[in-house]
Each structure stands twice: as structure tokens, then as C-alpha cells.
Amino acid sequence: MTETDTPDNPELEAIQLVVDRVSSWQDGATEGTVAEELRKGFDEAGVEVEPDEVDKLADAIQNEHGDVVVADLIER
């Protein structure tokens, strides 16, 4: 699991937790599947993430094979 450097930003932490969960379970899945699972996770966590941010995160999960730091990719 990736640690965030933003303990004072619960929204960013929630997004990171979803990304960590999806990347651990979706290794080798298509980007579309990863994006779909991210959206579901964000809905469950009650955080709003823009569609372009979901795509960026899904792409990073595919390219980095799960080692994704959300704070490096999106601003909150």
C-alpha cells in the first residue's frame, strides 16, 4: 500500500486508498476495467473524481503496475 504525504487531506487519502485497492486487484486488467473499478471505488468512498483524472489514474496503474502516488498525478 502506498503512503500519502497528505495526512491533512482526507479526500486525497481516500482516493489513494481506492487506487491502492484497485491496483492490487486489477493487475493485468485492461485500462477500461481499471477505470471502471476506480469509479466504483470512488463512489463507494464518497469522493468525486473528474473523468479525466480517473483516466489519468487508470493509465498510471497500467504503466506503473500499481505503484501509483495519487498526489503526483492530481491536485486536491
Number of domains observed in the structure of the chain: 1
- Whole domain around residue 24: which residue ranges? 10-73
For cell 500519502, the residue is 4
Task: Determine the Cα–Cα distance for residues 24 and 8; give it in Å rounded to an integer.
Answer: 25
Which pTM does this prediction carry?
0.84
DSSP per residue over 7-43, as a string? TT-HHHHHHHHHHHHHHHH-TT--HHHHHHHHHHHHH
- Segment 32-47, tens digit of pLDDT: 899 999 999 999 999 9
Domain contains 5:
no
Mean pLDDT along residues 7-21: 93
> Please, which pLDDT band fits residue 60 given cuts at 50, 70 and 90?
very high
Residue that has been written with the C-alpha cell 504525504 in this structure: 5
Q: Is the pLDDT of residue 65 over 80?
A: no
Within a domain: 1: no
Is the confidence at residue 72, as pLDDT, over 90?
A: yes
- Residue 2 located in a structural domain: no
Residue 3 located in a structural domain: no
Rg of the chain taking only CA atoms, in angstroms: 11
HSE-CB for 4 with a 13 A CA cutoff: 22
Residue 20 lies in a domain: yes
